[in-house]
Chain A
Amino acid sequence: MKMNSPFRAKPFRANLALALFAVLFVAGCSKKPPIPPPPPPPASSGGGPVNNNSSGRPVVAEFTAEPSGIQVGQSALLRWSVTGANDISIDHGIGTVQSTGTSRVSPSVTTTYTLTANGTGGSTTATATVRIVSPPPPPPPVVSDTGNRSKGTVESRTAELQDALFDYDSNNIRDDARAALTSDADAIKRILIDFPSASINVEGHCDERGSAEYNLGLGDRRASSARDFLVQLGVPADKLKTISYGKERPVCTESTEGCWQRNRRAHFSAGQ
């Protein structure tokens, strides 16, 4: 439906009514916009003119909602003008009204208001609809590197984070780990912007050489060191959960220094 935002400014009020007419009452055939026509008559009545003064029924000169599209919490103004009626009422709790007037409404769902005017020669009804429209999308997040990236998933984004590597039997953050974690801190902040409910596991791992039991403690320290470093760089501590795997989940199993170094690491995974 293209009737919403372009019609909100005053110069377009006539267009608004026209659009309402066009969309809602295509079959109604009034030649006098902006007067909204009544709904089609019951099939048994055989039809009839909308405003038939000779019948003595009241005439609804105007019944509009402005604007016709609002967001939840905003309001619209109903405006009406009726002649030849003894009593006039509008449904949805507005009740009996004067022949000319306005009423501010703020429905939470799309609502069609029906005005009923009773005269000596019968009654006339007219309707005005206030539509609830979706809020516009928020502006895209600011991405510092060259854009054109999709959000992906927490898992895919976490998999891109760099491991922080450690010396044997040590949880000191080396210079290379400092660089990796500094880059990771920015990336984690962006993940948390895109996925505010995400949490990240900081896993501590060891190479195969120390005892399994001692390595659980060492892995816990490595994870804690990496977490503390990230928190210093502004990553919220409550989004980081440390898990030590000791030497139980190696990334490689060769007995070489290259493989041992790869296993002496703090690694990131998506949290629950």
Chain B
Amino acid sequence: MTRKILISCTLFAALSAVVLMAQITGVITGGGAKPALALPDFRAAGTAAPLMATFNSTLFSDLDKSGCFDMRAKSLYPLNNPQNPQDLRPEDNHQGYALQDWSGTPVNASHLVFGYAAAVNGALAVYGNVYDTRVQNIPSAQLIKQNYAGGLDEAGATRAAHEFGADIIAKFCGGAGSLLGSRIYFVSSRSGSDEIWAMDWDGNNQKQLTNLHSLSIMPAISPDGSRIAFTTYAKGTPRIMMIDSQTGRTLPFYNQEASLNANVTFTPDGKQIFYASSAAGLEQIFAADLNGQGFRRISHRQDIEAEPKINPKNPNMILLVSSASGQEQIYSMNAEGGDFQRVTNGEGEASNPSWSPDGQHIAFSWTRGYAKGDWNVFIMDIASRQYIQLTHSEGRNENPTWAPDGRHISFASTRGGRSQIYTMLADGTQVTQLTRQGTSRMPVWGIK
């Protein structure tokens, strides 16, 4: 009897995880089957020619890492490929100038991406096209015809590839489109002290934002990407500091009297912050204006409370980490601190909740199934409380942060030794390391 229940419970949990994984795959691909993309290399003449290797590898990588395409192997492609729409013919006997040469075996692509580039007036011009290979009428098969310009150098080629890739991802993958322009803010020790840093979504342009020579940690990014709030010991005790995310300039912020003000998060409308403060003698959740004024206590309990995180689609649903049931677990409460319920099931220790942009899922860190301190990244469907595990004990995996596109997650991992920042798809695949210097941790993903 007991065993039967156990088996059916296990079965139910396993099935639920499958359902959730299908849901996540749907989020990643924008629903439906993954488009199968054929992407023959773009070519160019003259001074643009040496830049094409960079362009082609960047475009392929962006489309591949988006997770919403089945990238067809180049070794299967026909001998020829169209470079502009005039090259397309209704029939080409598998030589490559007909769409059906790409839709049929062995390529089996549903879509063909092609084009070329040229040096025009000292700039790089890229002419990009995307066609549905399964549509008979050539003009009707055209989905994207767009020109891109960049500097006549490696950076220009990279930028043009990112922009074309972003348009293709936006066309096929739904959600908030591509990651282009988004940035990841994080803590790095590489300058000698823990400072706040910024980098592009792909790890490029890593840049130091603070120079406080203290301990500056736990950054939060405002919904519009303009402000970073973080916790710093620059004045002795842990306090909140607010800076401009693009310039690093300090913005006015009033810290209420307390031994500890930390763990800031912004409200979805960007007009308030929530944070943890010991102003009442023990760490509890407070809210305040962006300049720290008008602060008020939200929760009134006797437990340690940290990491408030507000549902981006429902400001009355706030997640937090609390010791109410012993070891740290994720709880939810309403905007007045009431309706306090545990979200994680009490196993192990759970922390670092991060909302998906649609407010339906959270990514979080959990030691469930492992020893204390062996954190892994999980995601959970907040309505059903079903969860799946994305990392599997390769080092400590902490501080997941959902990307603005809803398909990617960045996190910190010690899998390579010291903690570094990684990204992956929300199904745990396509893990990519972004940082390599010093110790890098506590990433947050902003729209810019």
How many angstroms from the CA of A245 to the CA of B217 in the assembled complex?
11
The answer to whether residues A214 and B304 also contact, given A169-B323, A224-B281 and a CB cut-off of 8 A, is: yes
The answer to whether residues A243 and B259 also contact, given A211-B328, A214-B351, A220-B278 and a CB cut-off of 8 A, is: yes
How many angstroms from the CA of A160 to the CA of B352 in the assembled complex?
37
Question: Does B202 touch A at the CB level, under 8 Å?
Answer: no
The answer to whether residues A220 and B283 also contact, given A211-B351, A211-B365 and a CB cut-off of 8 A, is: yes
Pairs A-B, 9 closest by C-beta atoms? A209-B373, A217-B283, A211-B351, A217-B304, A209-B372, A214-B328, A213-B306, A220-B260, A213-B307
A216 with B263: CB separation less than 8 A: yes
CB-CB nearest in chain A for B442: A212
Question: Does B240 touch A at the CB level, under 8 Å?
Answer: no
Interface string of B254-289 (1 = CB under 8 A from A): 000001101100000000000010100111000000
Question: Does B215 touch A at the CB level, under 8 Å?
Answer: yes
The answer to whether residues A216 and B238 also contact, given A221-B304, A243-B259 and a CB cut-off of 8 A, is: yes
Given A213-B262, A213-B307, A272-B236, 18 further pairs, Cβ under 8 A: A169-B323, A169-B326, A210-B373, A211-B351, A211-B352, A211-B375, A211-B398, A212-B398, A214-B306, A214-B323, A216-B263, A216-B283, A217-B260, A217-B278, A218-B323, A221-B283, A221-B304, A248-B215
Query: Which size class do B's interface residues fall under?
Result: 35 or more
A213 with B238: CB separation less than 8 A: no
- Rounded to whole Å, the gap between the CB of A248 and the closest CB of chain B is 6
CB-CB nearest in chain B for A216: B262
Question: Does B84 touch A at the CB level, under 8 Å?
Answer: no
How many angstroms from the CA of A216 to the CA of B327 in the assembled complex?
14
- Rounded to whole Å, the gap between the CB of B359 and the closest CB of chain A is 21
Which B residues are in CB contact (< 8 Å) with A245?
Answer: 215
How many angstroms from the CA of A64 to the CA of B281 in the assembled complex?
67
For window 334-357 of B, CB contacts with A under 8 Å fall at 349, 351-352
Residue from B306, B327, B349 whose CB has the most chain A CB atoms within 10 Å: B306
Question: Does A12 touch B at the CB level, under 8 Å?
Answer: no
For window 205-244 of A, CB contacts with B under 8 Å fall at 207-214, 216-218, 220-221, 223-224, 241-244
- Rounded to whole Å, the gap between the CB of B160 and the closest CB of chain A is 40
- Rounded to whole Å, the gap between the CB of B378 and the closest CB of chain A is 14
Question: Does A195 touch B at the CB level, under 8 Å?
Answer: no
- Can you list 13 residue pairs at the A/B interface with Cβ under 8 Å? A169-B323, A211-B306, A211-B328, A211-B398, A212-B218, A213-B218, A213-B262, A213-B351, A221-B304, A224-B282, A243-B238, A244-B259, A248-B217
Which A residues are in CB contact (< 8 Å) with B260?
Answer: 216-217, 220, 244
Which A residues are in CB contact (< 8 Å) with B236?
Answer: 243, 272
Residue from A168, A210, A244 whose CB has the most chain B CB atoms within 10 Å: A210
CB-CB nearest in chain A for B276: A217
Binding site for A on B (CB under 8 A): 194, 215, 217-218, 231, 236-238, 259-260, 262-263, 276, 278, 281-283, 304-307, 321, 323, 326-328, 349, 351-352, 365, 372-373, 375, 398, 442
How many angstroms from the CA of A213 to the CA of B322 in the assembled complex?
11
How many angstroms from the CA of A216 to the CA of B262 in the assembled complex?
8
How many angstroms from the CA of A169 to the CA of B238 in the assembled complex?
20
* B304: contacting residue among A168, A218, A243, A248, CB under 8 A: A218
In the complex, how many residues of chain A place their beta carbon closer than 8 angstroms to a beta carbon of chain B?
A: 26
How many angstroms from the CA of A165 to the CA of B372 in the assembled complex?
19
How many angstroms from the CA of A260 to the CA of B260 in the assembled complex?
23
How many angstroms from the CA of A162 to the CA of B93 in the assembled complex?
85
Which A residues are in CB contact (< 8 Å) with B283?
Answer: 216-217, 220-221
- Rounded to whole Å, the gap between the CB of B262 and the closest CB of chain A is 5
Which B residues are in CB contact (< 8 Å) with A212?
Answer: 217-218, 398, 442
How many angstroms from the CA of A221 to the CA of B302 in the assembled complex?
11
B372 with A216: CB separation less than 8 A: no
CB-CB nearest in chain B for A249: B215
For window 183-205 of A, CB contacts with B under 8 Å fall at none
Which B residues are in CB contact (< 8 Å) with A213?
Answer: 218, 262-263, 276, 306-307, 321, 351-352
How many angstroms from the CA of A242 to the CA of B215 in the assembled complex?
17
